[in-house]
Amino acid sequence: MASIKPFKALRPQPQLAKQVASRPYDVLNSAEAKIEAQGNPSSFLHITKSEIDLPDGIDIHSQAVYEQAKSNLDAFIKREVLFQESKECYYIYQLIMNGRKQTGLVCVSSIDDYENDIIKKHEFTRPEKELDRINHIRTSGAQTGNVFLAYRNHSKIDELIEKWKESKSPVYDFIADDEIQHTVWIVNDSDTCDEITSLFANEIPCTYIADGHHRAASAAKVRQALGDQSGPGADFFLTTLFPSNQLAILDYNRVVKDLNGLSPAAFLAALEKDFTVKPVGETAFKPGSLHHFGLFIEGNWYQLIAKPGTYTDDPIGILDVTILQNLVLDGILGIKDPRTDVRVEFVGGIRGLGELEKKVNSGDFAAAFSLYPVTIDQLFDISDSGNVMPPKSTWFEPKLRDGLLTHLIGE
C-alpha cells in the first residue's frame, strides 16, 4: 500500500508566490531560463538553473553550479523570500488550463515504496540526468523538483479534498504568464492529515510515476549515497498525487531529418506495406483514435492507418509509439535507437501541429509524424506489467511549478 506523509514545506511568502514559481528545470535550457528570470531576483530558476548567475559557457554540471544553487537557496531563506512551515502539512495543488481543472495532493512519498515497486515506473532513466539531480539534491540539501504521481481515482479521497477546498481559503492563487492558474491550500489539521495518510495506506495499493522518473531515481540514490549520514527526510521524496480521472496526456510527436536515401514518393510507397495511406492536403491532421497517424511531408499531410496484423496486442506492442518506431522509424528509416539517434527529434503536443510544419518547412527535417496520445490506462497497464514505454511516449500538461513547495531532506 502507498506510504505517504505530510511535511514541513519550504515555501514562498504569499505575496511573492507568482514571482518565485518557475517552470520545471527540465523544460527549458540555460539561455531560456536566463531570459525568463531576467529582472526577477525571486525567480526559483536562480536555484534550479543556477548557472544563469554564473559566467556564460560554464559547464552546467560542474560543482560550481550546484554550489551556486545552495548559495542562492540560502539567500532566499535569509531574505525571507522562502520560509519553512512550522508543522508537517499536506498541500492541495489545483491547476486550471484552458478551463480544465485538475487537483493533486502534495506530500512526500516513501523511497522504500519506490525501491519495492509500490511506486511503479514506465520509463528507463539516463545516468547523466540522474547524476545532475543527485548532485543538486546533495549540495543544496533540497528536493526542488516535484515528482508527478498518479493513482486510480478513489471517491473518499476526492470528497475529502473537495470538502477542504470548499471550506478553506487558499494560501496561493495566481495566474502565471502562460495563463495557467495555480491554487494551493494548506491542510494543517492533524486529524485530516491522519485521515489522508490512512486512506492511502489502506486503500491505494500503488501509485504510478507520470512525470519525473529521473527526480525519483535521484532521490533514491541520494539516500543510498548518504547511508548512515542521511536524515529522516532522505527516506521520502517530494511528490504530487493526482487521481487518474483528472489527468490529460498529450501527444508526443516525432520529426526526422532524412528519409534514409528514399525519395518522398518512394517513402510513401514503402509505407503502404503496413499502412493505409490517405492524402489529406494542407490541413494539419490530428489523429482521433489509436493506430491512426498523421504524416507531414513536402507541404502536405497524409493520414496513416496501421493495417491489422502489423502490431501485437501486448501492453507495449499495441502502443502507437511502438508501431511507429518498429514499422517506420526502424523498419524504413533505419532509426534503431531513438534515445541516441540524432536523426529523430521529439516535439511535445503542447506546441501544436504547427510546430511540426514549421520544422519540416524550414528544410532541417524531411518529415513529421503526429500521434494519438497514450491513454492513462495504457500507462497503468505497462507499469503493472513491469515493462517500459519507448522514450518520449507521454507529455503531461499542465505542469507543476517549481518553488511553491520544496522538501528539505535534512528535516
Number of C-beta neighbours around residue 87 at 10 A: 11
Same domain, 124 and 205: yes
Residue 390: strand, helix, or coil: coil
Structural domain includes residue 318: yes
Question: Does residue 197 share a domain with residue 53?
Answer: yes
Q: Return the closest-CA partner of residue 249 out of 140, 359, 399.
A: 399
**Nearest C-alpha neighbor of 1 from the set 154, 149, 205:** 205
End-to-end Cα separation, the chain, in angstroms: 24
Name the 3-class secondary structure at 84: strand
**pLDDT for the residue 156:** 95
Within a domain: 96: yes
Dihedrals φ, ψ of 38, to 5°? Answer: -60, 130
pLDDT digits (tens, 9 = 90+) for 224-249: 887 766 667 789 999 999 999 998 88
Beta-bridge partner residues of 119: 207
Task: Determine, yes or no, domain membership for 380.
Answer: no
Bridge partners of residue 302, in order along the sequence: 279, 295
Compute mean pLDDT per 10 residues along the chain, 411 residues long, and list them: 96 97 90 94 97 93 96 97 97 95 96 94 82 92 93 94 96 95 97 97 95 90 78 87 90 95 97 96 92 96 95 87 95 91 89 93 96 90 86 84 94 66
Q: How far apart are CA 177 and CA 173, in angstroms?
A: 13
Could you tell me if residue 277 is inside a domain? yes
Name the residue range of residue 307's domain: 252-372
- For 230-383, strand residue ranges (E) read 236-243, 249-250, 252-256, 275-281, 292-297, 300-306, 344-348, 367-371
DSSP helix/strand/coil, 147 = strand
How many other CB atoms are found less than 10 A from the CB of residue 190? 12
Looking at the fold, whether 402 and 365 belong to one and the same domain comes out as no
Amino acid 204: pLDDT: 96
**Same structural domain for residues 330 and 305?**
yes
CATH number of domain containing 343:
3.30.1760
Are residues 269 and 146 part of one domain? no
Residue 389 lies in a domain: no
Give the pLDDT of residue 231.
66
Inside any domain, residue 388: no
For residues 296 and 350, membership in a common domain is answered with yes
**Same domain flag for 184 and 132:** yes
How many domains in the chain? Answer: 2
Q: DSSP per residue over 28-42, as a string? A: S-HHHHHHHHTT-TT
Same domain, 21 and 149: yes
Helix (H, G, I), strand (E, B) or coil at 407: strand
- Tell me, yes or no, whether 378 lies in a domain: no
Same domain, 237 and 194: yes
Place of cell 478513489: 154
Same domain, 203 and 80: yes
Q: Are residues 243 and 328 in the same domain?
A: no
Does residue 216 fall inside a structural domain? yes
Q: Round to whole Å and give the CA distance between 344 and 350.
A: 19
Same-domain check for residues 201 and 56: yes
**Residue 262: is it exposed, middle or buried by C-beta count within 10 angstroms (0-12/13-18/19+)?**
middle
Give the helix, strand, coil percentages of the chain, each rounded to 5. Answer: 35, 25, 35
- State which H helix or E strand residue 109 sits in: strand 100-110
Q: How many CB atoms lie within 10 A of CB 86?
A: 8
Show the cell assigned to 107.
506530500
Residue with cell 523498419: 331
